[in-house]
Structures are given as C-alpha cells and as structure tokens.
Chains A and B, each alone.
Chain A
Amino acid sequence: MEVRLHGRGGQGGVTCAKILAATWSHLGMSVQAFGDYSGERSGAPVRAYLRVDSSPVVNRNKVYAPDHVLVLDHALCDAAAVLGLRPGGTLIVNTMEDPGALAERFPGYRTATVDATGIAREHGIGSRSVVIVNTTIAGAFARIMGLPFEALEAAFTAMHVERDLPAARAAWDAVRVHEAQGAPRAAPASAAAAPILDLVDHVVGAAPALRTGAWRSTRPVYQTRPAPCSTACPAGNDVVGFTRALATDGPEAASEILARTSPFASVCGRVCAGYCGHACNREAMDEAVNTRGIERWIGDHATIARADQPQTGRRAAVIGAGPAGISAAYQLARAGWRVDLLDAADRPGGLLRSGIPPWRLPREVLDREVDAVLAMGVHWQGGRRVGPAELPALAGEYDAVILATGQSKVMDLDVPGRELNGIEQGLEFLHDANLGLATQISGHVVVIGGGNTAMDCARSALRRGAAQVTVVYRRTRAEMPAIPEEVEEAEEEGVQFRFLRAPLGVYGSDLVGGVELAVMESNPNGGAPTMSEGRDWIACDSVILAIGQRADPATLLPEGWTIRHGQVHALETPLPVFATGDLATGEGTVAHAIGDGARIALQARAWFDECKPAGPRPKGVVRHSEMRFSYFDAIPRLPARKRPAAERVAHSTEVDLGIEDGREADRCMSCGHCTHCDTCLVYCPEGIILRAGDGYGVDLSQCKGCGVCARECPRASIQMVAE
C-alpha cells in the first residue's frame, strides 16, 4: 500500500508519515516513510510518502500512484493532490468541508474530512503563527484505515508525541467519510510522474521563476497593537507612546503626547498608583519599566507649551476644581471652548490640594500644572459654592455644565464613644494640615482605615508631632487599598499597623483614652472578614477616621434631576449637564479622575456633534507571552530615589525624588509598536521584506506566509492573517 501526504513545510507532514509508519510497524508490517526535502522552508508545499507491505519494502521511489492521499492543508487539495490516486482510493483532507462536498469535486474516490486545524488549535499544538496538525490528522487517518487506536497509541509513544494523543482521539471521533461513487476524473497513474525523456533529448535553460506567493495561506500584517501599560492607565495616557518618544525624541516630544490626555504629568507621576508599571510586560523578563517615574520626569523637565485653539464660541462651566474638573476644563479648552471653573475653595486643585500632603505633592508642582491650565483661558472663579438652587440657572447660562464635585460625604463611625473629644475625620485633618491650619497633634494617634487617606493621615500625624501612630485595619495587609509603596514608606517612618481589627468603641471620659477593637477573622474566599469573640484595646490620645467617603448628589442636584451614564436628566429630559469624576464613578484615584474628566469633555462635545464620544477600551493587548524577550538586553530598573525616613519626617520635605534621568525610557520594549528594528527584514527567509515609507513593505508575489517575521518580531507588532 502506498500513501502520499500533501502538506506545507512546518505542518509536520513528514512526521505524520513516520507516525503512521510506526503504527503499521507496530502491527507487524514492513514500512517505509520519507519526505520531500528541499531548500524551501516553512509554508512551501511538501510531500511525504508512506509504504506499507507484508513483505520487505524495497522500492525507494517517490509515490506516483498512491492508494490513498492525505492532505494536511485544504488549500493544497487540488487536482495535483489526487494525481495518480488509484480509483476507489481514499482522499482524506484537513478541512471543515463536508466529505460529500469533497466527493462532488473528486468523484470516484472515498472522501474523508476532519477539521484537524481546529482540533489541533483547541489542544494548543503548534505556535501562534502555525498550528501543527500532523498528530491530529494521523488519528483521523488511522480510523479511516481501520487501525486499532491502541496501535496508534503505541506509535505516538514510540515517536514521543503521546502528549498529542487527545487531539488524535478527537480527530478519530470527528472524521467523516463519504464512500466512493462513480469513476475518477483524474488522469491515469502514469501521468503522475514526469515524462521519461528520450536519452538524447535535453532540456536547456534555467527553471522558471518560482512565485512562492502562490503557496501562501496567511500573510503578515504590520499592526500597532495596544501595549498593556497604555490600556491599564485609567487616565487614558499613551504610556508606550510617551515613553518611546522620550527615548527617541526627548522630553518635549514626550510631553506633547502626554498633553493629549492629561494636564497633570508632574502631579500624576507623583501620586498615581502606577497602573501602567504594574501591567508592564517587562516584569516577566527582568523588572517592569518605571513608567510612573518616567511620566514625572517628563512633566518636570519639559516646558508646558499649550497651543492656542481656534475658538468654537461654546461656553462651559465646570463645577469642582479637583483633578476630574480640571481635566474636563482642560480638554474643553483644548477643543476651543471658553471654560469657567467654579469651586468653593479659594485655590483650584480640590483634593490634590486639600487631601494630598505637600511631602507627596509639593505645592509648586501642583501650582505649575494648574496654572498652565488656567493660562489656556480657563477662567477661575474661586469661592463659588453651587447648590441645587443655582444649578438650573447655570445650565441655562452655559452651553454645557460639568459637575465634578467629587465625594463630599465622609463616612462616619457609629460606635459608643464617638462623641468624645479627640476624634477627627481624616479628610478634615488633612485639609487643615495641608493648608497649614492644624494645631499640633501629640501623644498616640490611632488611624482607622486602610486606604491612601489613612496612610496620608498617619504620616501627617507623625510630621505634626504625634509620638506614636497606629493604623488599625479590619482586613489583612495584602487587602489594603492603599498604594503598597505608601504603606512601606509609612512603615519606614515608624507607623505601626494592627491588621484584622475593627473598632467596637472609643473609651475615655470627655477626652479619648483608647479604642476597643474586635479581632476579625479573614474570609478565605476573599469576602468581608468576620468578627470573632476576641477583643483588643489600644490606649491612645486621639483617633482619626479614614474609612471612606461617597458622592452626595443631593447637595448639588435639584429635585427630579438624576445622573444617567454621566449625563444629568430632568425627569426624562437629558440636559447639557454632565457629571464626572468621583461624583459619577466613585473610582477614587487621581488617574481615574483625569481619565473620566477627559471622557466627559468628549461626551459634552459629542452632544454638540463636535466629535464622537470615547469608544470602548481597545482589544488585543499584547501579552508578555507574545514578546520575544531574547531580543532585549537585561537592564536593571532605574529606581526612585527617596529621602531617608528621619529626614523626611523631621522636615516635611518631598519623600520621593523620582528617577535620576530619563534613560529609564530606553528599557521600554515598545510592546505592539513597531520601532523599525529590522528584525523582520533580517529574518525573512525569502528576503522580500523591504523598508517602505515609514515602515515596511512585503512583496506578496514571493511571500509564502511562513510567519517567520511574525514569530521573530520582538514586540508582537506583526500578525499573520488568513488570506
């Protein structure tokens, strides 16, 4: 019996022939298996051959008149595939097509089909560019040939591919057969071999040019794909963009990219939790790029140049001058709107000014970026508290009103002893401390809560005279919502922690004398901890509450007005009034506020048909498993520099000094973004990738779709797509 296999280089056709040979050999037959070997590599049509006989096989020719034909790539299932196939022989093809449909094209043969590619892909056999189908289709072929599955198992084991047995089994089960009908259309067997020339006939001249592009079933496409840092950024910053721009074109170019999404590079580069860096693919190689440090460095080293925009004539009032309000005002100003920025405070900044301590965010840094926004023509109206009575008039006066008043209602503690003197709300404490109003605090201070406000309160208390500070949190350290870096810094400065403790009461007479705590038990399923019988006490002189806050639209919206998807409605009528930031989303971070402010600006403009609203987050983010780390040198992360704990507590100076210089940007691998590194061009086995314009061109007449370029691209910015 003779079998011919048709596949492409890289699909494993030769190995398939060898596996089948091993199967028949296991059954005591004499076998022979070999392939066509050539200079062509992946993607080229390749044939393999199998002979099975009860007596020793001596014929060493290729197979010209096969009893059966096995086609591993349905694109190769053409007249050439069945050339010489004996009438009644089996044609088995890797295709989703029905065997009956195949029989119509190839009458006179027994046809069988199986979606080996789908099965192999499901079982994860092969690479992202080439699915290896050989072991899968071997299962189908063995079934069609009536071989026992045990023989196939033995062959797989002998060939060390037993891992693929489940796929072979799936193909064994899935293969469908259509019995032969009629007579074959194909030419007789002898035509399969090249003609025998007369001994004196000689063909002169070179072989015709081979248009290898005809082999292609997939083609490379250069694509810019989302980098994980950028998609992780709640502010919507093009992190990979500004990082690459810093590395290649310097801080001004990088700043220009940042300015598209955020007016707060220096601010956010200091106070953000650094979502970008936590998503960085480089973490899987050596260490994540310090992208937050880079953002800060750009903000601190680039001049802020804001181009004048042509005015649209539209006017907006932004109520609330925190990060969301300023972000919205900034984006509207960039779009040519005239913006009035209203706030009850006498300086813009919101929580950036009242909530975040200066030793985390120096006020000159904040002022510089806020002033740059005001310099764009955003008109500051401080001391303006807007309530339900004023809002309808404002909505009539302006084309649009943006509400960004944040979370105005702080959560309180409903326990015995709450009325004692010496208990204070954290945000009030921070407000007074940050604005230099607070009197000194002393003795032992207990801070209740586990978020960033709690950390800021604890550390501010230390700086304002507390002898001892203890943070009490009802869950574990790992569950703290605070930025881990801030927790570490608090620890360095001497803040103590008591985890899995919830306040039951405050005791004392008139003045706080201590807190009574319940010992909590962690919930193994990640839910809320449960209270145990255990009790714990801390003697202290004051208590600061930092247990959260929430939005309170009732202090702003008139009766009957509601917020739906960021837009305010009067009963069912949508108004040109929009809500953003913590007021609308409750996300609670500066980066989220910036992102939401920009998004609401777009939404407001879209209301006036100036633009489209923000689309959904892009899909297809580059995963670290898609990166080719071997192309990158290991370079240590440039660490942030910090002042010693004693010095920063004593002088209330900025804790974090940022990175030393911008060369950290050179560590960026530019995930999903072509850097014109030429790797594709160098590795293309056909040499048909050429520099073209601002990228590369592929000569598709010669590209055989081998996928080497996509496989070798260090940053996964080439995709193979089906023809």
Chain B
Amino acid sequence: MSVQLLTANHAAAMAAASAGRANRTARGFGSGVYPITPQTECIEYLSGLEIERGKVVLVESEHSAMAVCMGFSLGGARSFTASSSNGLAYMAENVYAASAYRLPIVMMAVNRTLGPPWNIWVDHGDTLMLRDMGWVQVYCEDNQEVHDMLLAAFRLGEDPRVLLPVMVCQDAFVLSHTLMSTDVAEQPAVDAFLPPLQLPHRLDTRARTVGGLDFPHEAEVHRRQLHETMGRLPLVWKEVQAAFVETFGRTLPDPVVGYRLEDADVAIVCMGTTAATARVVVDQLRAEGINAGSLRVVMMRPFPGEALREALAHVAKVAVVDRDLSPGIGGILWTELCGTTGHPMAQGYIVGIGGGDVRPEHLARVVADLRGRSTAGQPLIVEVA
C-alpha cells in the first residue's frame, strides 16, 4: 500500500485506472468522459494516467460519455465514467440503458445541486434523481472510501449473479476537492481482486440484437429480473467485503453503519459526509447524558429497508436527515425509510441542501427538536447559512 495525499477526485481516478489495468489480459478498459464541476479533476487526471490496453475518450456530452461506456462494456471492456449534477440529468437516458443492458459500468458521481439557478455545492438530489434507473448506488464518507468503493464496485457489478452498473457517490468539494491521506491500492492486489471481466452477453462475431422491442410481458420479465437481482445483491456484497478485506486489509462498510445505536433513544439517520458530523454530535449528547446514536445509509440501491428496520427497531425517535428535497413530499431517504421500516416516529429534516456547511450545531438543533416532539410531522427544512 502506498499512502498518498489525494483529493477524492484523484483517488477515484487512480482506482478506475488500476481497475482498468487489471483487465489488460482480457478486453481492456474504456472510458467515455465529459467534464463538469466538481468531477472534472477526476477525468482530467484519469486521462493523464497510463493504462495498458485502456482508452479514455473525451466526447461532447454526458449522454455520449455513457454511450461510449456502453459500447466499451458491450465489447467486453471494463468501463468507467464520472459525472455530476446537470451532467447526470443530461446523461439520464443512457444511465437507464446501461442497467437495462446489464452492463457492469462503474460511475463516480460527485453530488452537486441541480441548477438553475446555478450552484456547484453538495446536494444528493442529482444522484437520487437516478435512483430508479436500475443502478446500485453507494454514498461515501471519506476519500479512502471513494477509492475502495470504486474497486469494490467493479467486483460487485461484474459478478455474474449481478451484472449491474454501480454508481459510487461522494459529496462535492467536501470530498472531491479535499486533500486527505489515502491508501492507494497496489496494482498486483487490484489484479488479484478484479479478475478479467467475462461479460456473458458481450458482442462478438455472432449476430446479436441488443435493446430491441419489448412487448408488455417481456418488459415485465426484464424489470422483474432487475428487481430480483437487486434483491440478491446484499449477499454478493458480503462476499465482496470479505474478499476486499482479505486482499487489501481494509474493510468496506455494510449497507448501513450504526454508531452507538445499541441503547439509543434517539438517532440521526443520514448519508455521506454528514455522518461524520453526526457522530460528533452523538458523542456530545452522550456526554450530556442523552442516549443518542446515529446511522449512516451507505447503500441507497438496493435500499436496505430490512437492515434499517432491525437497526432502528428499539430507537424511540429517529431524525432522518436528508441532503436532498423532493418537492411535494420531503426528503427521499426519509420517505423510503418510512415506507420500508414503518417506524412509528421518524421525523424528516432537510439539512444542508445547496451545499451549506452542516456543523454539529445544526444537528444538535435537529436532535433537540426531535426530543421535544411526541409525534412525527411534516419534514422540516433546516437552514444552513
């Protein structure tokens, strides 16, 4: 392992490049890329890295970037791209196609507020907009996790029981542009962890139609296959976690990660870097004698409803802190948590949308509000100036 000072954007590019190299004895690596703040540094850096049997193709739009990735992937190459915010919106049609074609493409998405009006800072609304596209989605908490999750994403998506694209999400600037020490995986280890890609339906000399017309019943079958694959996924993830720790000596997080939850009366549930701040607040509250805990949702798709239900079953009051807003209903994490766990008192809070610096004080105020309630009500938008 070599420890380097890297931004998460660079850490991501190095993971993608080493994953690409690991497929050099098979069909190589191909990446269609288009820049957008705050992920541009990732593809910029990737373009400059040496990748044997690899190609990074700069195209004219995100829509084409994903199309290029699909072409590479259908040809049997390992494929990667990165995007963000409005770029993801423009890419959306092909984002869906990638999963429908069952292509194990990996995308690093930097979460950024959708515009207009223009805003470049963190907000999970952009990738959550794509939550129904048939991709696996994970949300990272630090630079190391971005690097590791990307390596794991290839292994997970390429597993013959899965064959799905994976989106690895990280918070704009808070991770993407922040320099932190990162253990960079060595190539031999990556080679061992990521065997050459064997895409069963890859294009070859035999005539084949991909993406033809789907009549209603066929569509039902295809959608059902996608859904059932998502259902199998947590078991495969456990295997990936085991292989990862064996290869690299570091652990990958479970789909949900609890903190001091065992005897908690109140809990903060959140995603991404807010989780680190939540742990600080939990410690502060514990010091004041309040039995607080927190829980980070790492995997948004497949949604870990069962794991959440189990983890929160004994917690009387839950503050679901969303860094997104679905106008007309509230936070997306909150609605999905409510829908899957049936928790009797899960109150929704929208904190840090548009990129506000979510400080411990904000989350302390959330917990104070939660503790003062006897029932859950409409979601509250917390202003973070």
Could you tell me which A residues sit within 8 Å of B by CB distance?
17-18, 21-22, 25, 30-35, 37-39, 57-62, 64, 158, 193-203
Please determine whether B181 and A30 come into contact, CB atoms closer than 8 angstroms: yes
Residues of B within 8 A of A193 (CB): 359, 361
Please determine whether B359 and A158 come into contact, CB atoms closer than 8 angstroms: no
B360 to chain A: closest residue by CB: A61
Please determine whether A199 and B181 come into contact, CB atoms closer than 8 angstroms: no
Please determine whether B277 and A60 come into contact, CB atoms closer than 8 angstroms: yes
In Å, the complex CA distance between A130 and B280 comes to 41
B276 to chain A: closest residue by CB: A58
Q: Does B273 reach chain A (CB closer than 8 Å)?
A: yes
Q: How far is the CB of A3 from chain B (nearest CB, A)?
A: 13
In Å, the complex CA distance between A326 and B57 comes to 70
A49 to chain B: closest residue by CB: B178
In Å, the complex CA distance between A21 and B365 comes to 33
Per-residue contact bits, chain B 237-248, to A (CB 8 Å; 1 contact, 0 not): 000000000000
Q: Does B162 reach chain A (CB closer than 8 Å)?
A: no
B365 to chain A: closest residue by CB: A196
Residues of B within 8 A of A64 (CB): 359
Q: Does B91 reach chain A (CB closer than 8 Å)?
A: no
A-B CB contact pairs (8 Å), 29 listed: A17-B179, A31-B5, A34-B173, A34-B178, A34-B179, A37-B38, A37-B121, A38-B120, A58-B276, A59-B276, A60-B175, A60-B276, A60-B277, A61-B277, A61-B358, A61-B360, A62-B357, A193-B361, A195-B385, A196-B361, A196-B362, A196-B365, A197-B383, A197-B385, A199-B349, A199-B365, A199-B380, A201-B383, A202-B381
Interface size bracket, B side:
20 to 34
Q: How far is the CB of A290 from chain B (nearest CB, A)?
A: 43
Please determine whether A37 and B361 come into contact, CB atoms closer than 8 angstroms: no
Please determine whether A61 and B359 come into contact, CB atoms closer than 8 angstroms: yes
Task: Rank and list the top 4 A-B pairs by shortest CB-CB distance, nearest first.
Answer: A34-B178, A194-B385, A33-B179, A197-B383
Q: How far is the CB of B124 from chain A (nearest CB, A)?
A: 15
Please determine whether B173 and A18 come into contact, CB atoms closer than 8 angstroms: no
Could you tell me which B residues sit within 8 Å of A by CB distance?
5, 38, 118, 120-121, 142, 173-175, 177-181, 273, 276-277, 279-280, 349, 357-362, 365-366, 369, 380-383, 385
Please determine whether A21 and B5 come into contact, CB atoms closer than 8 angstroms: yes
Residues of B within 8 A of A59 (CB): 276-277, 280
Please determine whether B361 and A202 come into contact, CB atoms closer than 8 angstroms: no
A38 to chain B: closest residue by CB: B120
In Å, the complex CA distance between A33 and B8 comes to 12
A21 interface neighbour in B179, B357, B380, B383, Cβ under 8 Å: B179
Q: In the complex, which of the residues A21, A64, A196 has the most CB atoms of chain B within 10 Å of its own CB atom? A: A196
A24 to chain B: closest residue by CB: B5
Residues of B within 8 A of A197 (CB): 382-383, 385
Residues of A within 8 A of B180 (CB): 31-32, 57
Residues of B within 8 A of A158 (CB): 5
Residues of A within 8 A of B173 (CB): 34, 37
In Å, the complex CA distance between A377 and B174 comes to 82
B5 interface neighbour in A22, A58, A62, A202, Cβ under 8 Å: A22
Residues of B within 8 A of A199 (CB): 349, 365-366, 369, 380, 382
Residues of B within 8 A of A202 (CB): 381, 383
B120 interface neighbour in A18, A39, A62, A195, Cβ under 8 Å: A39
Known: A33-B179, A34-B174, A58-B276. 16 other contacts (CB 8 A): A18-B179, A30-B181, A31-B179, A31-B180, A32-B179, A33-B178, A34-B173, A37-B177, A58-B280, A59-B277, A60-B178, A60-B276, A62-B357, A195-B385, A196-B361, A203-B385
Q: How far is the CB of B355 from chain A (nearest CB, A)?
A: 9
Q: How far is the CB of A48 from chain B (nearest CB, A)?
A: 10
Residues of B within 8 A of A60 (CB): 174-175, 178, 273, 276-277
In Å, the complex CA distance between A198 and B372 comes to 13
Residues of A within 8 A of B5 (CB): 18, 21-22, 25, 31, 158
In Å, the complex CA distance between A330 and B362 comes to 84
Residues of B within 8 A of A21 (CB): 5, 179
Residues of A within 8 A of B121 (CB): 37
In Å, the complex CA distance between A18 and B273 comes to 20
Q: How far is the CB of B257 from chain A (nearest CB, A)?
A: 14
In Å, the complex CA distance between A61 and B381 comes to 20
Residues of A within 8 A of B280 (CB): 58-59
In Å, the complex CA distance between A18 and B178 comes to 9
In Å, the complex CA distance between A35 and B176 comes to 11
Residues of B within 8 A of A38 (CB): 120
Please determine whether A32 and B380 come into contact, CB atoms closer than 8 angstroms: no
B279 to chain A: closest residue by CB: A58
Residues of A within 8 A of B118 (CB): 39
In Å, the complex CA distance between A301 and B111 comes to 68
B274 to chain A: closest residue by CB: A60
Residues of A within 8 A of B178 (CB): 32-34, 60
Residues of B within 8 A of A32 (CB): 178-180
Q: How far is the CB of A209 from chain B (nearest CB, A)?
A: 15
A25 to chain B: closest residue by CB: B5
Given A21-B5, A25-B5, A61-B357, verify A35-B177 contact (CB < 8 Å).
Answer: yes
In Å, the complex CA distance between A598 and B92 comes to 75
Q: How far is the CB of B360 from chain A (nearest CB, A)?
A: 8
Residues of B within 8 A of A18 (CB): 5, 179
In Å, the complex CA distance between A58 and B383 comes to 23
In Å, the complex CA distance between A17 and B179 comes to 9
Q: How far is the CB of B12 from chain A (nearest CB, A)?
A: 16
Residues of B within 8 A of A22 (CB): 5, 179
In Å, the complex CA distance between A592 and B46 comes to 61
Given A61-B359, A199-B369, A202-B383, verify A31-B120 contact (CB < 8 Å).
Answer: no
Q: In the complex, which of the residues B38, B369, B383 has the most CB atoms of chain A within 10 Å of its own CB atom? A: B383
In Å, the complex CA distance between A201 and B180 comes to 36
In Å, the complex CA distance between A37 and B180 comes to 17
B382 to chain A: closest residue by CB: A199
Please determine whether A34 and B357 come into contact, CB atoms closer than 8 angstroms: no
In Å, the complex CA distance between A615 and B250 comes to 77
Please determine whether A25 and B181 come into contact, CB atoms closer than 8 angstroms: yes
